[in-house]
Structures are given as structure tokens and as C-alpha cells.
Amino acid sequence: MKFSGTGVALVTPFNRDGSLDEQGLRKLVDFQIENGTNFLVVQGSTGEAATLTDAEKAQTLAIVIDQNKGRLPIVLGLGGNDTAALVRDIETANSNAGVNAYLSASPHYNKPSQRGIVAHYKALAKAAKKPIILYNVPGRTSSNMTAETTLELAKVDNIIGMKEASGNMEQVMQIIKNAPKDFLVLSGEDALAMPCALIGGHGVISVVANALPKEFSSMMNAALKGDLKTANELHYKMLDITNLFFAEGNPSGIKACLENIGICNDTVRLPLTEVSNDLKEKMKVAMATIKG
């Protein structure tokens, strides 16, 4: 289970003129590796993949692979609502030796039936030469993947896990209870990561850990070992700032915090905007409390 523990959905740092900030990205990768992160996720929604050109996607992935130097597994986000186009993207990505797995969100906008979701992922699995992690995020896709759908897809050989961001703990428990023992269940909600681990989940793909990798990975390690006292302490220590990070949109909040700690600036691409000064000040206070 090389994708258990704490995975981080990396932001894509930009310069003030909107261009890619290569040094900021390299600094972020090292910051994760040096502070306990278990695997890296590139070009998810937190990485603003929707606003990256194909050339920028190739560049960001190449930078992460180069800076990582094989130290951590890398998961590449590949999603979309055109199955045939996504199959072609996967066939192209298969040749990249620096990528260890794919993370693919359920199709957005089309609102497919559960049968359509199953057929979509089976087409991806047939094309993929690397493991696939499913991603259920109905808040973005307007379409929930039911536990039954996930369990059917868990039978497919190279579908190895699920990033679950429905917020429905009963659904998460049904997947954990009935999936094959080697099927990963990863929280896609930072605030629910610790509770999910305590009920049998295997880890998280986190936004918060961009800025708090040491604290977040320590919390997850404690939860996965059954150390409830330590896990609870760290969970509640980070709960308020977790809510602040998402108060005015993601990754706007986490990028503001990364600017505060000197990793990269807070530039995002439209239609996202930087967070308010009021929220920045609240996050600074919360971070000082955590680090104090």
C-alpha cells in the first residue's frame, strides 16, 4: 500500500504575472518530502489543472518528477467528462516512468448514471498501464458514486482505491466494510481524514498538508496506529485552520498560507481570486497558534 498515509494534492505555484513558478514548486516538493508526506498528487483540482495548458501540465509534472528524484510515489491527476479523450490522455501518460498511479475524478457536468460511471472507469482501466485511484467528489461533479458502484469497480484488477470526498461517513463505512482488503480508502476531506482512518480507512489526499505536512502526517500516522490520544490532539489543533483554508475557496486559502510561510506566493488563476486580507490575518493567527 504505497499510497497509504498522507498524500498531498500539490498546489501549482504561479509568479505574479501568472506564469509557472518553478522554484516555488521545487521548494514545495522538498518541503513535503522533508516533513513526512507519503506520496505526491500532481494536477488535481488543488493544482488548478483546469486552467493549465497542455504544455504547462507537462512542465509541472516534469518539475515534480525531477525534484522528487524517486523519493516518493507520484500520482497524476487525470480527469474529464469525455471518456474517449481521457483514454487517449492515459495512453500518452502510460510511458512516463516517473508516474506511479493515476487519480481520476468521476465525470463532471454530464451527470452520468451509476452504470455510466462504471463503464467510464472500466474503459480507463483497460487503457491504463498503471494503477487507478477513483475519486468521488460530488460537490464538484454534481454526481455521487454510490458505495455499490465503488465496490463493483473495486473488483477491477488495476483499480486500487478510492479518494472519498462525499462527506457521507455511512457510505465510507460501507466501502471499507465490503471492499477487498487491499483496496485503499482515502479521505478526500481534510476534516474527516482522522475519523476515516480510525474506522478502517488507509489515509488521505490532503490540501491542508501543503502547508502543514509534519503536523498532518503525524496525525495520520497516529490514527493509523490506533493512537487516539495523539490523533485527537492534532486533529483538533488543526480543525479551525482547516475550515479557514476553505472559507473563500481552494486553493486560494492554502496558497495564502504558503505565502505566509515563504514557500510561494498566493497567486491563483481566474475564475479563482486571492482571499481577503481579513481571512489572511485569521490564518496567520491560527498558524502561529499551531506552530507556537
Mean pLDDT of the chain: 97
The mean per-residue pLDDT over the stretch 115-142 comes to 97
Task: Cell numbers for 18, please give them.
Answer: 501568472
Asked if residue 263 belongs to a domain, the reply is no
Would you place residue 239 in the very low, low, confident or very high pLDDT band (cuts 50, 70, 90)? very high
Q: According to the 3-state scheme, what is the secondary structure of the chain?
A: CCCCEEEEECCCCECCCCCECHHHHHHHHHHHHCCCCCEEEECCCCCCHHHCCHHHHHHHHHHHHHHHCCCCCEEEECCCCCHHHHHHHHHHHCCCCCCCEEEEECCCCCCCCHHHHHHHHHHHHHHCCCCEEEEECHHHHCCCCCHHHHHHHCCCCCEEEEEECCCCHHHHHHHHHHCCCCCEEEECCHHHHHHHHHCCCCEEEECHHHCCHHHHHHHHHHHHCCCHHHHHHHHHHHHHHHHHHCCCCCCHHHHHHHHHCCCCCCCCCCCCCCCCHHHHHHHHHHHHHHHC
pLDDT exceeding 90 applies to what percent of the chain? 99
Q: Which of 187, 205, 206, 185 shows the shortest CA–CA distance to 195?
A: 187
The mean per-residue pLDDT over the stretch 19-23 comes to 98
Catalytic one among 57, 102, 163, 280? 163
What pLDDT score does 292 carry?
78
Largest Cα separation within the chain, whole Å, is 51
What pLDDT score does 211 carry?
98
Asked if residue 269 belongs to a domain, the reply is no
What distance in Å separates the CA atoms of residue 176 and residue 181, rounded to the nearest whole number?
A: 8
243-259: pLDDT as tens digits: 999 999 999 999 999 99
Q: Which domain does 219 fall in, by range?
A: 5-225
Catalytic one among 57, 102, 135, 280? 135
The mean per-residue pLDDT over the stretch 213-242 comes to 98
Q: Phi first, then psi: what are they for 265, rounded to 5°?
A: -85, 180
The mean per-residue pLDDT over the stretch 19-48 comes to 97
39-72: pLDDT as tens digits: 999 999 999 999 999 999 999 999 999 999 999 9
165-205: pLDDT as tens digits: 999 999 999 999 999 999 999 999 999 999 999 999 999 99
What pLDDT score does 52 carry?
97
Asked if residue 262 belongs to a domain, the reply is no
Task: Cell numbers for 216, please give them.
Answer: 498532518
The mean per-residue pLDDT over the stretch 152-166 comes to 98
Instruction: Respond yes or no: is residue 135 known to be catalytic.
Output: yes
pTM above threshold 0.95: yes
Number of domains in the chain: 1
What distance in Å separates the CA atoms of residue 276 and residue 279, rounded to the nearest whole number?
A: 5
Asked if residue 243 belongs to a domain, the reply is no
pLDDT exceeding 70 applies to what percent of the chain? 100
Would you place residue 117 in the very low, low, confident or very high pLDDT band (cuts 50, 70, 90)? very high
Asked if residue 102 belongs to a domain, the reply is yes
Q: Residue 1 pLDDT > 90, yes or no?
A: no
Q: Residue 128 pLDDT > 90, yes or no?
A: yes
What distance in Å separates the CA atoms of residue 25 and residue 241, rounded to the nearest whole number?
A: 23
The mean per-residue pLDDT over the stretch 264-287 comes to 97
Asked if residue 61 belongs to a domain, the reply is yes
Asked whether 254 and 210 are in contact (CB, 8 A), the reply is yes
Asked if residue 242 belongs to a domain, the reply is no
Asked if residue 267 belongs to a domain, the reply is no
